Structure 1
Amino acid sequence: MPAGSDGPGGSGAARALPSLPHTWRPLGVRIAVVGFGLMLVVVCVAAWFGFDASVRDRFSFLQRLTLVLLGAGFAVCGWALGRARVTAEGAGLVVVNGFRTRRLAWEEVIAIHLPEGAPWATLDLADGTTISAMAFQGSDGRRAVHGVRAVRELIDRETGGS
């Protein structure tokens, strides 16, 4: 059942809200970043040392620099994906997506949704805009659904909603 379909409290069972501050992070994305990153490093190092010295010597300084910069670019992108998080604090939510951090007071946050098939959750804000909450990845399944429900209950508690 998608997280967007349940109202506050889910199926009516009383659940304890997380103590604040509480941070949610995506699991699948972090595993993929670390796993594929390590595989890429292993393959590149094995290929480099698999070449004999005459082949390695034909690489110019600029070609080697290009390879290092490409590796650094992949590392930076992986770091940006892996640092996504949502932290619930006494004053509100801190949403980190990639390199951007947004601090939202509880009064600014109206709702959170994770429709079935969506890549990540979305926060509806009081000014009529929305922002992504990439900490709740649809690919994380039940883990993301439970996180969205917990944030929804915190929003209701902190704003005095129904």
Structure 2
Amino acid sequence: MPAASDPSLPRTWRPLGTRIAGIGGGVLLMVFCGALWFLLSADIRDQFTLLQRITLVLMGVGIWVAIWALARARATATEAGLTVVNGYRTREFAWAQVIAIHLPPGAPWATLDLADGETCAVMALQASDGDRAKAGVRELRRLIDRTP
């Protein structure tokens, strides 16, 4: 059982700045491109071939896929372990597998040290979020340290 100072479980951490910038920037880009398209005269729009139009749409979809991958980053702690979602990859760890978590100065996000000697980025705790990320790292350390 977690100590009184441990966060209540389940607990999920998500990056704030990245989500705001990504989703806000994506919406602004879509609005700007849509407005630009309709501000072009009909003669200029008619010069675009079907293949060029499809390419523009696919580029927009690609940008949204990348933004969504960054915005969906999260780390969820449960009694059973820790689930880390980075982009479109989800990794699940039992508490016994997680040795430590670090957020060194200059690092873009936190990193887990695992029992098998590997590491795993935790993009949910981004240094750009400042004290919010540091608090998340401290909470995860308390959860890791309580594991026998």
TM-score by length of 1: 0.88
Distance 1:68 1:15 in 2: 52
1:39 deviates by 1.2
| d(CA) in 2 for partners of 1:52, 1:134 | 43
**Partner of 2:60 in structure 1?**
71
**C-alpha deviations, 1:11-49, integer Å up to 9, x for none?**
xxx972111110000000000111110110111011101
> What percent identity do the matched residue pairs reach?
64
The aligned residue for residue 86 of structure 2 is 97
* Per-residue CA distance 1:29-76 (angstroms, 9 max, x = gap): 000111110110111011101101001111000000000000000010
Consecutive unaligned residues in structure 2, runs of 5 or more: none
Tell me if 1:147 matches 2:136: yes
1:98-152 CA-to-partner distances (Å, cap 9, x unmatched) read: 0110010000000000011110000000001101000000100000000000000
**Structure 1: stretches of 5+ with no match in the other structure:** 1-13
The corresponding residue for 2:109 is 120
Root-mean-square deviation over aligned CA pairs: 1.2
Q: Within 2, Cα distance between the matches of 1:15 and 1:90?
A: 15
2:47 equivalent among 47, 53, 58: 58
TM-score normalised by the chain length of structure 2: 0.96
> Deviating runs (4+, > 6 A) in structure 1?
none
Letter paired with 1:19: S
Q: What SS class does the counterpart of residue 65 from structure 1 fall into?
A: helix
Counting matched residue pairs gives 146
SS in structure 1 of the partner of residue 106 of structure 2: coil
